[in-house]
Chain A
Amino acid sequence: MLKFTQDHEWLKIEGDVATVGITEHAAEQLGDLVFVELPEVGAAFGKGNGAATVESVKAASDVYCPLDGEIVAVNEAIVADPSLVNSDPAGAGWFFKLKLADPAAANALLDEAAYKTLIG
């Protein structure tokens, strides 16, 4: 199941674990990323909390936790090479895997069609 947030994140949900990244639209708007800071594995976040930070040449931006949950894996490859987020935001540029506190809450997020409408 693929879901999206209004903060331009995507979630690929398999069982009770969501792989989270930022959308192509977000990556394009941010521009060339030069720094990524990821959360610790084991950290718990509420929906809407800042879970990661990305920085372009010009500015820093937060990546929000899309649902309540606990971090079970992070993608160290984007820390070593932040440009992966720009070149493959929906694939190799994923950020973290989140064990969802309430998998049913994902139903309230946007589907792909609704997200495409949002970004026009």
Chain B
Amino acid sequence: MDDSAPTLKTPLHALHLDLGARMVPFAGYDMPVQYPAGVLKEHLQTRASAGLFDVSHMGQILIRPRSGVLADAALALETVTPVDVAGLAEGRQRYGLFTNAAGGLEDDFMVANRGDHLYLVVNAACKHADLALIMAAVGESCHVEPRFERGLIALQGPMAESVLAELDPAAAAMRFMDVRELTLAGIPAVVSRSGYTGEDGFEISVAAEDADRLARLLLANQRVNPIGLGARDSLRLEAGLCLYGNDIGPDTTPVEAGLTWAIQKVRRNGGGRAGGFPGADVILRQFETGPERLRVGLVPEGKAPVRGGAALFADETSGEAIGIVTSGGFGPSLGGPVAMGYVPVSRSTPGTRLFADVRGKRLPVTVAAMPFVPTTYKR
């Protein structure tokens, strides 16, 4: 992101300042990296009780079929994504990927079937490119409406359900990846039971003018504290979730990234709607042959965090790097460092010992299964 670009503000900007947040530029927005409690406490608060995150910088996009038949929109969107959109039931959401001709990833997103339209949430830094990509793919058959001005509040953690159910009891009946319209203290909201922390929780989409009031109402609950981008990153890292731009990007395929679960059988070879998305030849071939490299979890043996960008080596002395760390840091719930990165498939078995270059030292790391912290989704 160009630092000279004008800084945008989310509908919760004034709230962040009132709460004493430390603000940083992120994807063009002035965003809270942490509040006075600090990253460690915010992280642990989310795992123990509930955390409120401003994710309004992410892009919300509505796709409405001109024919009134949702399958027309779903099938049009499937021309740019390898996921099964047409098979998504009404009131359900799933994880999606935009691919490029080389089989790489242009973005990851959430897509919901809202009955008469599809509703997408995409990454902040990619949202304008995604909008153009979506327009090109579905513009002929659908109205595409960017809703970038709307508020998006994530409420995450074991207490999220009881907190939200106090405002609308229907929240408690939702399962993981359900999407419902709720009325929260008179505020109309589109709520999904999802998030990006590994915890049970909700993402709540509201009109910009309602976001501040709803956030303050949720924060008035003693069990809820505000959480910044710093803890959002450590939470998703412990949950083994990819950060677009770090762990996945235009040069990584879904198979290399370990995201094959996001490509349903109907879109794979032998499926009823196999292929038909950018890079399908590369990606579907990798399903058959296996990739050459794979994203894996890495647990450093010592206490030193191993950060994104660190080169990985097969042993303590070899000259040639065999892989690279893409995300890494300290996992507050684990009380130690964790990382993820790409290694050759031959070195991807959990328990494999590798070495990461940190400030010129080769530190031992062990390949480990992810998530590092068990997820608590309400399936």
Contact = CB atoms under 8 A, between A and B. Distances in A.
A53 interface: yes
Contact of A32 (B39, B304, B307): B39
Contacts of B38: 31-32
Interface in B299-346: 303-305, 307, 329-330, 332, 337
Contacts of B33: 58
Given A31-B230, A32-B40, A57 B330 contact: yes
Interface in A52-80: 53, 55-60
A60 B39 CA distance: 15
Interface string A35-46: 101000000000
Interface residues of B, number: 20
If over half of A's interface residues share one DSSP class (helix, strand or loop), that class is named, otherwise mixed; here it is strand
A53 B234 CA distance: 20
Contacts of B41: 32
A57 B43 contact: yes
A34 interface: yes
A31 B39 contact: yes
Contacts of B359: 53, 60
10 contacts: A32-B41, A34-B330, A35-B304, A53-B359, A55-B304, A55-B305, A57-B40, A57-B230, A58-B33, A58-B233
Interface of B: 33-34, 38-41, 43, 230-231, 233-234, 303-305, 307, 329-330, 332, 337, 359
Which 6 pairs show the lowest CB-CB distances between chains A and B? A34-B330, A32-B40, A57-B39, A32-B38, A57-B330, A55-B305
